[in-house]
Every structure is written in C-alpha cells, then in structure tokens.
Amino acid sequence: MGKLEGKAAIVTGAASGFGRETAVLFANEGARVVVIDRDKKGGISVADEIRKGGGEAVFVEADVSKRKDAKRAVEAAVDGFGKIDVLFNNAGILGPRGVYTEDFPEEEADRLIGVNFMGVFLCTKYALHFMVKSKNGSIITTGSDSAYLGNRGLSVYSATKGAVIAFSRVVAMEYAKKGIRANTISPGAGQTPMHAQLIEHDKEAWKKVEEGIPLGRACYPTDVAHAALFFASDDSKYITGANLMVDGGWTVRGL
C-alpha cells in the first residue's frame, strides 16, 4: 500500500513544475487526485498520465484567484471522491522579475496577490468546510525562500509568499483541535517553467545561481513533491504550523 492509499487530494497549479510532479507522486502513492490548473492542455495531460499509470484523477480547469473557480474546484473533489484529505496549494506566479518597487505596475501587484495569496486563502477556506466535517485534513502550501530574503526586484512576490506562510501558521492553530494540519514548503530557485526564461536565455546567470547553492544545484520538482508527500502522509502526523526549506541550503549559507 502507498502512503496515501485511500486518500483524496487536490493539487493546484498541477499542470507543470512542482504541481505536476506532486500530483503524479500522490497518485503513485495511492491517492485519488484532483488536478487543478488554468492550463487546460497541461492539466488534461497530467490527469491522463495518472490514469494510464493505474491511478484515479480528474482535471478541473480553474483560476484559483477567482472565488467561483476556487469553490467549484474544491467541490469537484467532494463530488468525485466524496471527501478531501489533502489540499496542496501550489498554484503561483512570479510576476515581473527585476522591477524595483517604485516602478512595479499596480495591475501586476494585484495579479500576484490574487493568485499567490487569494488563491491559497480561497481554496483553503472552501476545503476547510469539508475537512472540519470529517475531522481530518492536511493543508500544504508552497512558499518560497524569497519570503526570507531581500531579493531585489521581487518585492510583491516575496510579500505574497511571506503572507501565505503566516496564513498557514494561523490555520494550523485555528484547526489543530479539529484534526487538521497546515504546513508550508519553501523551495529555492527551481528548475521549473517559472524560471524557464532565465534558464534558457541567460545560461551564465543561471550557472551562477546554481554555483551559489551549497548543495550545488537548483531545486528539482521531485524535491518539492517528496516534501509535499511527507506533509500529506502520516509520516508528519505530529507536525503542524511548520515551514520546510527545500532550497539546498541557500538561505542559511554563510561566508
């Protein structure tokens, strides 16, 4: 039996990167998975991959920053699988890179806050309604090392990631006595579509990034997927309100 045998899981931002790897791993460990993303083609591909591997999955096309979409996506899990055991709030965007605060477009700030924070808030809010009824649940949210670092040109992105880490801690305390845990995972620079432009078009800059990471490489999607599996499974049943850095030592490196 897999570590998630019999569980029903939601993974947002599951069409690529960390989300895709996690959705497939959850399914391989026995979970029935609701794949949520705005990318219809990518989302269908992930759900098909899971089913071809013998797992159960449904795809829901949704923009989690929109109330109706988030509610519909969560309800699809209950309609399809009867419950929600795991919610992985992974959907997120980087926004403009390298733009200092005074020049940062307000509409881009609204978009970042909408996806990175409101998407987490809304999906968590709607999932809690069902988790409270069953007195069980694990809520996992993707943070970032940027929440802890003064990364120039990423003021709004960093703020949204700091916000979801704080939000997760509060949820952990509000619902601990109801059998619900909430934790975050904070990756460092990742080999994902989010960083594709830097990886493909500025190989020297990317090389310098990886050389600066103590463990010598960027974060792979599988690194985050296995961290999410830990929080989703009973391996972490005594852990709540925690943040796990998956950054190869980036945030603690010294001179």
Among 163, 173, 5, residue whose Cα is nearest residue 92: 163
157, 175, 220, 238: which one is catalytic? 157
Give pLDDT, residue 197: 61
Which CATH number applies to 8-193+221-245: 2.40.30.10, 3.40.640.10, 3.40.630.180, 3.40.50.720?
3.40.50.720
Residues shown for the chain: 255
**Residue 79, helix vs strand vs coil:** helix
Is 157 considered catalytic here?
yes
Sheet holding 86-89, edge to edge: 57-61, 32-37, 8-12, 86-89, 137-142, 180-187, 243-246
Give pLDDT, residue 200: 65
Q: What are the tokens at 14?
A: 């599951």
Strand bridging mode 57-61 / 86-89? unpaired
Max distance between CA atoms of the chain, in angstroms, equals 54
pLDDT in tens, the chain (255 residues): 799 999 999 999 999 999 999 999 999 999 999 999 999 999 999 999 999 999 999 999 999 999 999 999 999 999 999 999 999 999 999 999 889 999 999 999 999 999 999 999 999 999 999 999 999 999 999 999 999 999 999 999 999 999 999 999 999 999 999 999 999 999 998 887 766 665 666 777 778 888 899 999 999 999 999 999 999 999 999 999 999 999 999 999 976
